Amino acid sequence: MTVQRQYTLPHCNLVLEGLSADANDPLSPLAVLMNAECHLPGATDATLSGGREFLDSLVAAVSRYGQQLLSGVPYPRATGSAPPMVEIKPGDLPYHHHLIVQQQPLGDRVNDVNALPPLDIQLTTVQFYDLMEAVDQLLADTQTLPDMKAQFQAVSRRLVRPTEPMTKRATPAALGAAALAAAGLALFFVPPPEFEPTRPESEASAPAAASAVPGEPPRTDGETSEAVAADGDSLDRLESAPAITDAATIALLQSDVTQRLQEAWADVPRPSGDLAYRMAVSEDGDILGYQYENDLALEEVDNTPLPQLTFVPVAGAEPVRERVAQFVATFTPDGEVRLEPTETPAETEEPETNASETDTSKAGTSEADAAELPTLEDKVTDSDRIRELNSDLYDSILAELEPLSANEDLRFRVRLTETGEVVGYEPVNAAAGLLVNETPLPNLVTTADSTANQADFQVVFTESGVLEVNPWDGWPQ
């Protein structure tokens, strides 16, 4: 049975015709939609009509446009696809809307002969509202086309066209690129800064501290080249390095490096013969370079701690500017490490001391005294005498003692003759070697050479400024 459903509003009349699903029930929904007609009195005399496709398209267009009017966000149509059968666009005047309907002759395919121009109907807002309301009533009506449901979907963020035009949005980016180009052009003419690797502060200050030791003769370039010439071959990189001439520093380095080599060499197999290396040591005690002196040394070099202990400089090709001391290190088959300076600093000092003031010359001799003391052969054995010597030494040192700048104890071994003359002294710890000239000891040396019976005493200048003197071998019983 054919049924007709009609949705009537002042400016819109939507009529649907179709076959009812149940012929006996007048309220049963439409099973098949045969025709949909839309009259828009007041807007157009034409009747818009079509089948299900037309109705679907009309509903979709009205829904979409209604939402667009409410939100102000235009719904983007997929580009490239054919225009839908029904489309609504905003009009040129405000509150005018264009309903555009593609017309299609019935039963025929569209061709050039029978194609009709699309129908363009201008609607006011109220007329559009009536059209929308008719559609909404159809959608809400469950007894006409129950399968036709309202589909509401907010427009996705990705589909929304930005409100600013492309040129406006591109301006900041273009400005940025232009500024970068301009800056690049301007900086093109500025020469690149030259980078010189500098040593860290701590390393740089260490030689300065060491050179502050008084009594060290000023060095000249001539002397440096002399030292290097004496050195002859080897250690190319260190050739131009000035030599350390201070005997105390060398002694200190010698013991320090010996100890480190000995420790590092403890666990390796012993060589079959002596391994001799010439090595250069910086004032900090870093081994800057080494070279084998005999063939066995070359073969066994990996068994020595030298490769590990060698300080690898930042710029390998740079000649070393630091002052270095040269040693010959000998690793014996017994597991001992011996370190000997390659040259005696006293030799290079001699010309300098003549030109210097008397203080310096005194210091020069004191340095010779400060060198290692030979083993004592003829010891003072009289216990009373030792006690006397001890108290005399204490008094004489105290008489000339001035506050020291040391921040640790300074230990010295001081040798006296039986008559109480100071033969020599030797720093026991590193600080003592560096600060020996702040102590009264250099001025107390009277007889460098004496064959008389001698006694050794330990002299300690403690950090807190207390002087301690006692016999080296302990108090006699």
Partner 1 sequence: MPVDSPPAPQPPLVIDTLANPGLPSDECPRRARIQLDLLLLAIEALDLGGSEAMLGTARDLGLEGLVKGRVHLWLLRGTNPMRRYSQRQPLNIEEAKALVIIICTLARRLTVVVRQLLVGYQQLADKQLSPEHHFRLADYLSRFRSHFRARMNPRRAGVIAYSSDEKLDELALELLQELLLCAGVLGPQRLWNSLFDGEVS
**For 189-224, what is the HEC assignment?**
CCCCCCCCCCCCHHHHHHHHHHHCCCCCCCCCHHHH
Nearer to partner 1, 13 or 304 (CB): 13
Q: Please report how close the Cβ of residue 157 comes to partner 1 at its closest, in angstroms.
A: 6
Q: What is the DSSP letter of 304?
A: S
Stretch that binds partner 1, among 46-54, 132-140, 191-199, 214-222 (CB under 8 A): 132-140
Q: Please report how close the Cβ of residue 176 comes to partner 1 at its closest, in angstroms.
A: 25
Which of 25, 26, 114, 298 lies at the binding interface for partner 1 (CB under 8 A)? Answer: 26
Beta bridge partners of 202: none
Q: Please report how close the Cβ of residue 26 comes to partner 1 at its closest, in angstroms.
A: 8
Stretch that binds partner 1, among 66-74, 195-203, 343-351, 444-452 (CB under 8 A): 66-74
Nearer to partner 1, 69 or 371 (CB): 69
Query: What is the CA 322 to chain-centroid distance, rounded?
Result: 29
If we measure between CA atoms, which residue out of 411, 171, 200, 395 comes closest to residue 286? 200
Which of 34, 73, 100, 406 lies at the binding interface for partner 1 (CB under 8 A)? Answer: 73
**For 71-95, what is the HEC assignment?**
HCCCCCCCCCCCCCCEEEEECCCCC
Residue 125 makes contact with partner 1 by CB under 8 A:
yes
Q: Tokens for 295?
A: 């063939």
Nearer to partner 1, 37 or 274 (CB): 37
Q: Is 131 left (phi over 0), alpha (psi -120 to 50) or beta?
A: alpha
Nearer to partner 1, 64 or 323 (CB): 64
Nearer to partner 1, 71 or 225 (CB): 71
Q: Is 335 left (phi over 0), alpha (psi -120 to 50) or beta?
A: left
Contacts of 330 (CB under 8 A, 6+ apart): 274, 275, 276, 277, 337, 338, 339, 340
Site string for partner 1, 140-179 (x = CB under 8 A): xx-x------x-xxxxxxxxx-------------------
Which of 8, 47, 114, 272 lies at the binding interface for partner 1 (CB under 8 A)? Answer: 8
Q: Please report how close the Cβ of residue 147 comes to partner 1 at its closest, in angstroms.
A: 17
Nearer to partner 1, 32 or 140 (CB): 140
- Phi then psi for residue 37, to 5 deg, are -120, 145
Q: How many residues bind partner 1 (CB under 8 A)?
A: 39
If we measure between CA atoms, which residue out of 213, 248, 242, 206 comes closest to residue 322? 242
Residues contributing to the site for partner 1 (CB under 8 A): 5-8, 26-27, 63, 66-71, 73, 93-95, 124-126, 129, 132-133, 136-137, 139-141, 143, 150, 152-160
